[in-house]
Structure 1
Amino acid sequence: MEKYEISSLIDFMTILKKISSSSESFFFRGESEKYKTPLLASGYRKNKFPELLKEAKKEYFREVGYSLDSDSRENFIAYCQHHGLPTELIDVTENPLVALYFACESNRDSDGIVYVIKNDTHISDPLTSKLFDKEVDIISIKEEFDIASLSFQQSGGSYIKFQNTQFYNSMYEDFFSLLILEDINDNYSHLNSKLKLCKYILKAHRKGVLETIIHHRSNILKNKDNIYELMELLDKYSEKTEIDELEKFYSEFKSLKFTKEVKIYPDKNEKDPRYDLMSELRDNTPLILLFIMAYEIRDEKFPPFPKIIYKPSITFDRLKNQQALFIYQMSTDKYSILNPSDGDSGLNVAKEVIQQIDFDYEIIIKSKNQILNELDSIGINRKFIYPDSDNIAKYIKEKYRI
C-alpha cells in the first residue's frame, strides 16, 4: 500500500496520472477523516449485532414498500443506502473526482482520505472481486455460506451443501480455471488463491487443537478418523509460509481420506463436459473444501474472500452523477481460538468478524476548502453530486453566502 499527500487539485491529478500508468482500473472511496477502521459499511459502525440490519430493512420496507416501483423493490438494499438506513454496503465510485469531493465535503478542519481500491473483476480467480447487478445475488451469498457451514459442521466435514447460486457457480468456474492455468504455467500457483487459502489455514491452526475446523466433539465423532488425519497434517505444516512448503501441504491435503471422501452438493463436476478431459484437472473439490475450511477455521479475522461488487440496475440521478456502485461487505461468526489446554471450555464462543476491504493507495487530503473551490470550477459540486431541489438550493445559498 502506497501513501500520498495532496493540497490541491493539480496534486491529485498528478497522483492519478502516476497510478493510472499501471494500466489497472480502480474504485475510489472518499472519507472526510481518518477513521480507526477505514472502509467500513455504515451498518457495522455502531451496530454490534449485524443481524439487526435485516430486521431494520424489513421494517423500512413495511413502511415504504407500497410506494416503490419494481426496480426499487428488487434493489431495496441500494434504496435503503440511498436514503440513509445503515446497510452492509460501502459506497464507492469509478470517478476519482467524486471521491475527492466526498473527502472534502465535511469535517473541514480534519484531513480527508481517498482510498484507491483495485478493480480486479475481470480476473478469473476465486479471490478476485465478483460483480453482481441484482440484490438477490448478493444477499444469497451469506445465506449460501450459512447453509454450507451448517452442513459441513453437522456432518463432521464429510458433506457440504450449496444452493447452486450465481456466486457458487462463479466460484466453481474460477477454481476450475485456476487448475487449468496452473497446468499451463508452473509459476501461476505462486500467486493464486490456492496458496493464499493454505497459508491462512496453516497460520490460524493451533497445534494440538482438535476442534480447529469442526467445533463440537459430537460432530467430530461422526468423521473421527478422517478428522484426526487432517489434524495431523495441519500440525505438521502449522504456520509454514514458504511457497514450496505450501505446495507440499496442498499435495498431501489432496490425498487425505478427509478430502477424497467429502461430498459436495450439487456436484457440478459430474455434469461438466470437461470432467474427463484431463484426469489431474477434473476435480476442484479440494479447492472448494479449502475455501470452506478457511471460512470455518477458528480465527479472529475474516477469511480470504472476494470483494462483492454490487452495481444495481436501479438508477437514481444521484447514483448516475456519482458513477456510484457498492461493495457488499461480508461478515460471519468466527469461533474463538483455542489453546490445547483449554479442553471443552469456550467451544461455543463465537465472535462476529467483518470482511476487511483492502486498498492499494491512500491519498491524504489537506486544504479542503481550496480543493472544493477548485472542484467547483470544473463542475464537481453539491448540485452535481446531489441533483435534487433541496441540495441545489443549498449550493446556491453557500455560493452567494446568504
Structure 2
Amino acid sequence: MERNIEINSIQDLITALDHFDSDDYYFRGEPSLHYSRIMSSAFRPYPLLFSSSEKKYIDYQEILDNYYLEIAHELLEIERDNFLHYSQHHGLPTPLVDITSNPLTALFFSCSSNFEENKSRVHLFQKNKFIDFSLFPKKEEMNLNNFFLDNEFTLQVFRKISDLSEDIKKQLLYECAQNLNPIKVGGKSLTDTKYIGIDPTPTLGYILKAIFQNETSSADDFYNKFTEIFSEHFDYDFKYNQKREKFRNALFIKEGKCFFELHSDKYSSDKLALIIIFLINEQSKNMVDDFQERVMLPDKYAQLEDSYNVVFPPIVMHPSVKFERMKSQEGTFLFQLAHFNGNTRSYIGFSKIKSDITFIINDKKEIFKALNRIGINQKTIFPDHDNIATYLKVKHLMK
C-alpha cells in the first residue's frame, strides 16, 4: 500500500529518508497535487493553440520521426543511438518519464514551478521492482497491443519478471488480480459463467471472484489461495519443443488446448511469472472492452482520463550515455506502455505508473528558496547558458 508522508522542510525530507535507504529508490518531483496520475508527455492531452477549451493527443512517433529528419545530420552517433532519451531532454513528447536517483533533484522539480499552488509531490519508486529494457533493440514493439504474442518483447518480460524476488512477484500478482477483480470491474468475459473450465478468461474470473468474496490480508495470503485454486483449473508446460527446436513455456486449461506459449533458446521454468504474464494480458483485454463501452463518449480526453489502466512491472530505460543534464540531475527514465486502437496511433489506454511512497510537499515556496541557498537551483540542475541566464533573472526577482 502506498504511503503518504508530509514534508514541511528540506530537513523533514532528510529525516524521512533516514527511515529507509534512499539508494534503493528512484524519485520524481511533480509541482501539483492535482495531477490525477503519473503520465508520460507522449500520452497527455495538449490544448489546441487557438482554442481555450479543446485538447488533442499528439502523434509522438510522427513528431520524433520529423525531429530526426531535421537534426540527425548534426548529431553524434551516441546521440542517434539514444535518440528517444535525447528527444525527451529537448522537450519533445515521448513515452519516457523522468526519474532521478537524487531526492533533492526531485524536490527541486516539485517546488520550482506552478507557484499558484503551495503544495506538491515527490514520488518514490523501489528500484528492485523495475525491469530493465535499456538494451532491448526493438523499442517500437514495446506496447500492450503486442503483448502475449509469441514475440521477443513478451519473452523478455517473462524472463525479467522471473528475475524479480518472490515477494515482489507475489505483490505484482496481487496488484494485477485486484485490477481484474470481477466483483469491481465487471468485465463481461470475466463474469461469463457458461465457459468456466473451457475458456481462460471466465475461468480466471471464477477464481478471482471466489477469492475476493473473502478478505485477503496480504499478497502472501492471496498468492497461497490463488495458486491453489489456479492449479485446479490450469496446467503448465516447460519442455523442449522438437518441432520448433526451442524450449516451450505454455499455459493450458486442464484437459484443453494450449492458449498461450513462448518459445526460447534457453530453458526457463517459472510458474508465477507465467501466471503474471497471463494476468497482464487479461487486463489488456479488459482495457479493450472498457474502450468499446466508452467509444461513443463525445469527450475523448475524459474517455482516456478515466480509462482502465494495466498493472505492469515498471520499466527502466537507461541511455547508453548520460547527457549533460542527466549528469547534473542524476536522471534516468521510466518507460510507459500504450495500447493503441488497432493499427492506428490513437490510444485506448496505458500501463499504470504507481509510486510506492509519496512525499506531500507543504510550503514549497520556502523550500524552493532554501534549496537555492544550498546551491540546488536552475543553474545547477540545467547547466546550460539559457538556464543560467534564466536563473540569474529569477534570483534577482526572488523575494
- Normalising by structure 1, report the TM-score: 0.71
Quote how far apart the aligned CAs of 1:198 are: 4.4
Q: Establish whether residue 292 from structure 1 lines up as the match of residue 281 from structure 2.
A: yes
Tell me the residue number matched to 1:67: 74
Per-residue CA deviation, residues 143-174 of structure 1 (Å, 9 max, x unaligned), is xx43446xxxxxxxxxx421x24x62352363
Cα deviation, residue 75, structure 1: 1.6
Determine if contact 2:252/2:259 at 8 Å carries over to the other structure.
Answer: no
Q: Structure 1 residues 68, 17: CA separation in 2 closer, same or farther (over 3 Å shift)?
A: same
Shift of the alpha carbon at 1:262?
1.9
Q: Residues 84-110 of structure 1: CA distance to partner in whole angstroms, max 9, x if unpaired?
A: 111221111110111111111112231
One of 355, 358, 370 as aligned partner of 2:354? 358
| Structure 1 residue 364 displacement after superposition | 2.6
Taking a change above 3 Å as real, the CA distance of residues 334 and 193 of structure 1, as seen in their structure-2 partners, is farther
Query: What is aligned with 2:115?
Result: 108
Q: 1:387 to 1:264 in 2, by over 3 A?
A: same
Distance 1:201 1:282, change over 3 A: closer
Deviation digits for residues 320-369 of structure 1, max 9, x if unmatched? 1000111111222599xxxxxxxxxxxxxx97122221123322323334
Q: Can you list the C-alpha shifts for 1:31-74, whole angstroms capped at 9, x where unaligned?
A: 12222323221222215876711111111112222211112212
Q: C-alpha distance in 2, partners of 1:131/1:383?
A: 31
State which of 159, 163, 180 in structure 2 corresponds to 1:172.
159
Tell me the SS of whatever aligns to 2:231: helix
Provide the residue aligned with 1:132 in structure 2: 133
Q: Is the 8 A contact 1:92 1:324 kept in 2?
A: yes
Paired residues of 1:32 and 1:106 also in contact (CA < 8 A)? yes
C-alpha separation in 1, matches of 2:324 and 2:185? 52
Q: Which amino acid aligns with 1:26?
A: Y
SS of equivalent to 1:28: strand
Give, in angstroms, the shift of residue 15 of structure 1.
2.0
Q: Say which of 226, 233, 236 aligns to 1:253.
A: 233
Per-residue CA deviations over 1:251-282 (Å, capped at 9, x if unaligned) read: 123249546632656522xx54567xxxxx68
Query: Is the Cα–Cα contact under 8 Å of residues 319 and 332 in structure 2 kept in the other structure?
Result: yes
Q: Tell me how far apart the structure 1 counterparts of residues 101 and 16 of structure 2 sit (CA, whole Å).
A: 16
Correspondent of 1:237 among 207, 211, 215: 207
Q: Which has the higher strand share?
A: 2
Cα deviation for residue 318 of structure 1 reads: 0.9
The 1:374–1:328 alpha-carbon spacing in structure 2 relative to 1, beyond 3 Å, is same
Q: Give the aligned partner of residue 394 of structure 1.
A: 390
Unmatched tracts of structure 1, length 5 or more: 122-127, 150-159, 183-187, 215-223, 276-280, 336-349
Residue matched to 1:154: none
| Aligned match of 1:97 | 104
Summarize the alignment of residues 2-401 of structure 1 with structure 2, pairs less than 5 Å apart.
Answer: 2-20=3-21, 25-46=24-45, 52-121=59-128, 128-134=129-135, 136=137, 138-142=139-143, 145-148=144-147, 160-162=149-151, 164-165=152-153, 168-172=155-159, 174-175=161-162, 191-203=170-182, 209=188, 211=189, 228-230=198-200, 233-234=203-204, 236-239=206-209, 240-241=211-212, 242=216, 243=222, 245-255=225-235, 258=253, 261-262=257-258, 266-268=262-264, 271-273=265-267, 288-297=277-286, 298-299=289-290, 300-332=307-339, 352-401=348-397
Normalising by structure 2, report the TM-score: 0.71
* Match of residue 299 from structure 2: none
Amino acid at match of 2:355: F
| Cα-to-partner distance string for 1:276-332 (whole Å, 9 max, x where unaligned) | xxxxx6897555444433332345522221111111123221111000111111222
Q: CA contact under 8 A between 2:45 and 2:57: conserved in structure 1?
A: no
Kindly indicate whether the alpha-carbon contact (under 8 Å) linking 2:190 and 2:205 is maintained by their aligned counterparts in 1.
no
Amino acid at match of 2:101: E
Structure 2 residue matching 1:39: 3-state secondary structure: coil
Give the root-mean-square deviation of aligned CA atoms: 3.8
Is the CA contact (8 Å cut-off) linking 2:338 and 2:350 kept in structure 1? Answer: yes
Task: Show structure 2 runs of 5+ residues with no match.
Answer: 47-54, 217-221, 236-250, 291-306
Instruction: Tell me the CA shift for residue 226 of structure 1.
Output: 9.1
2:293 aligns with none
Q: Is the 8 A contact 2:190 2:202 kept in 1?
A: no
Contact 1:202 / 1:234 at 8 angstroms: preserved in 2? Answer: no
CA separation in 1, counterparts of 2:273 and 2:4? Answer: 39
Higher helix share: 1
Percent of pairs identical after alignment?
A: 25
Q: Offset of 1:118 from its aligned partner?
A: 2.4
